[in-house]
Amino acid sequence: MKTKILLKEADIPTHWYNVMADMPNPPTPPLGPDGNPVGPEALSAIFPEELIKQEMSAERWIKIPDEVRDVLRLWRPSPLYRARRLEQALNTPAKIYYKNEAVSPAGSHKPNTAVAQAYYNKQAGIKRLTTETGAGQWGSSLALAGQMFGLEVEVYMVKISYEQKPYRRSMMHTWGASVYPSPTDRTNAGRQILEQHPNSQGSLGIAISEAVELAAGRDDTNYALGSVLNHVLLHQTVIGEEAKKQLELVGDYPDMIFAPCGGGSNFGGIAFPFFADKAAGQEVQLVAVEPTSCPSLTKGLYAYDFGDAIGLTPLLKMYTLGHNFVPPGIHAGGLRYHGDSALVSQLHHEGLVDALAVPQLETFEAGVLFARTEGIIPAPEATHAIAAVIREAKRCSERGEPKTLLFNLSGHGHFDMSSYDRFLAGELRDYDYPEEAIKESLADLPQVKFPQN
């Protein structure tokens, strides 16, 4: 029995899989504040044409440019692991597989889309990309990708993270990006905040406003987003495509697939290529795993809401906790998002994607067990999938069911060791389900005239 199932470089997918082609209903369009669908022209100030096309495409397969595959092969195909030691520790009849996306130079799945976005922007004659980042996973991935195509990258990093989590900032510098603690005095948005709150520690919402403002105001500059949007999920489908091929090599097919779900690109990346089979009648359960303290899919409302905290973006139909919702300070920063991808949300709404919420302590317990059996220390986001898999594997033990489980190990925890420290010292806690806060922020959803159809 192999531990790692490897593919050749020639097996890097040649096409991305577009789930919109197989959804039973057409995807809900993004809306302007007037309730009318947002057209491509509204997006062209900050995105290149090719990405806007992908955002709206109904084509099942979209060709991956050779130049993109050429960068991806620095780490792709990523290995698929059989978690033999974890299975033994759990004494489960279940087979557990994981796709290891931690092998990218930035340490997570994020570069899969960063590289594609950098490429299309370069092709469109763009000189510079702006983006926001919290703890720095996305910012460092875009810094890496920009460097590979000779694009300047400006990252607006939430000030408190800039100060408290310096090492991902250092990664971005090493890859040649400029990193600014947001709010800055470089934008109207930033200056406005600083006038009112000179000591502002920043927020993801403010950082987005700064990055978008700069991209919208400069012809040679575009903006890049690391999750939520359709084209971002599209670029991540290389994960699931490879995993399918790797499981075929060992004659296996998953009964259930698990991935952490914040904005949805991690989940969509591994699950959508299997959704193609599901749409064709194959039995396979797709499970998006989220934190109980930020439970958009399991406790949110399926409604039109802003994608960002401030209300700059078009309205997206999604499971949301309300764009004003501020999640508790859990350590899986990448899952602290009030909403979800419109595609994942729609499929969940239609009963084709399942969702599960897991409390923080259980995720860290799972992470430690994984590290002590499989060796790799997982990112706090990834531990959500691991915790869900462990629950299922234990259920398999009780029932004697030899299910095949697959999950996305979306990143390593090398820059999250202080979170493990606090967990091992007994300093982390679970949060009560923030029912009141969610109720309040949901009462504040934007009022839109829905399009008639």
158: helix, strand or coil: strand
Between strands 315-320 and 301-306, the pairing is antiparallel
Smallest separation (angstroms) from its own copies to the CB of 270: 21
Between 304 and 415, whose beta carbon lies closer to its own copies? 415
Q: Tell whether omega for the bond before 359 is within 30 degrees of 0, i.e. cis.
A: no
Between 105 and 451, whose beta carbon lies closer to its own copies? 105
Q: Which of 32, 37, 39, 166 lies at the binding interface for its own copies (CB under 8 A)?
A: 166
Binding mask 130-159 for its own copies (x = CB under 8 A): --------------x--xx-----------
**Interacting span for its own copies (CB under 8 A) from 46-54, 100-108, 117-125, 286-294:** 100-108
Buried b (16+ CB within 10 A) or exposed e, 255-274: bbbbbbbbbbbbbbbbbbbb
**Interacting span for its own copies (CB under 8 A) from 4-12, 38-46, 240-248, 264-272:** 4-12
Which residues fall within 8 angstroms of residue 227, CB to CB, at 6 or more apart?
A: 138, 233, 262, 263, 264, 265, 266, 337, 341
Binding mask 58-97 for its own copies (x = CB under 8 A): ---------------xxx---------x------------
Site for its own copies contains 424 (CB under 8 A): yes
Q: Which of 32, 39, 40, 105 lies at the binding interface for its own copies (CB under 8 A)?
A: 105
Q: Which of 36, 188, 192, 418 lies at the binding interface for its own copies (CB under 8 A)?
A: 418
Site for its own copies contains 178 (CB under 8 A): no
Between 215 and 247, whose beta carbon lies closer to its own copies? 247
Between 174 and 188, whose beta carbon lies closer to its own copies? 174
Binding mask 191-230 for its own copies (x = CB under 8 A): ----------------------------------------
398: helix, strand or coil: helix
User: What distance lies between CA 147 and its chain's CA centroid?
Assistant: 22
Smallest separation (angstroms) from its own copies to the CB of 314: 34
Partnered with residue 316 across adjacent β-strands are 305
Q: Which of 223, 275, 306, 420 lies at the binding interface for its own copies (CB under 8 A)?
A: 420
Q: Where are the alpha helices (DSSP H) in 132-229?
A: 137-149, 159-164, 166-174, 188-196, 204-217
Dihedrals phi, psi of 346, to nearest 5 degrees: -65, -45
Between 351 and 375, whose beta carbon lies closer to its own copies? 375
- The dihedral region occupied by 228, where left means phi > 0, alpha psi between -120 and 50, and beta the remainder, is left
Smallest separation (angstroms) from its own copies to the CB of 250: 12
Question: How many Å apart are CA 84 and CA 66, to the nearest integer?
Answer: 35
Angle between helices 265-279 and 238-249 (to 10 degrees): 60
Helix (H) or strand (E) run with residue 3 in it? none
Question: How many Å apart are CA 247 and CA 295, to the nearest integer?
Answer: 31
Between 58 and 424, whose beta carbon lies closer to its own copies? 424
- Span 336-375, contacts to its own copies by CB under 8 A: 368, 371-372, 374-375
119: helix, strand or coil: helix
Question: How many Å apart are CA 239 and CA 272, to the nearest integer?
Answer: 9
Between 97 and 319, whose beta carbon lies closer to its own copies? 97
Contact positions vs its own copies (CB under 8 A): 2-4, 6, 8-9, 73-75, 85, 103-105, 107, 144, 147-148, 166-171, 173-176, 368, 371-372, 374-377, 414-415, 417-418, 420-421, 424
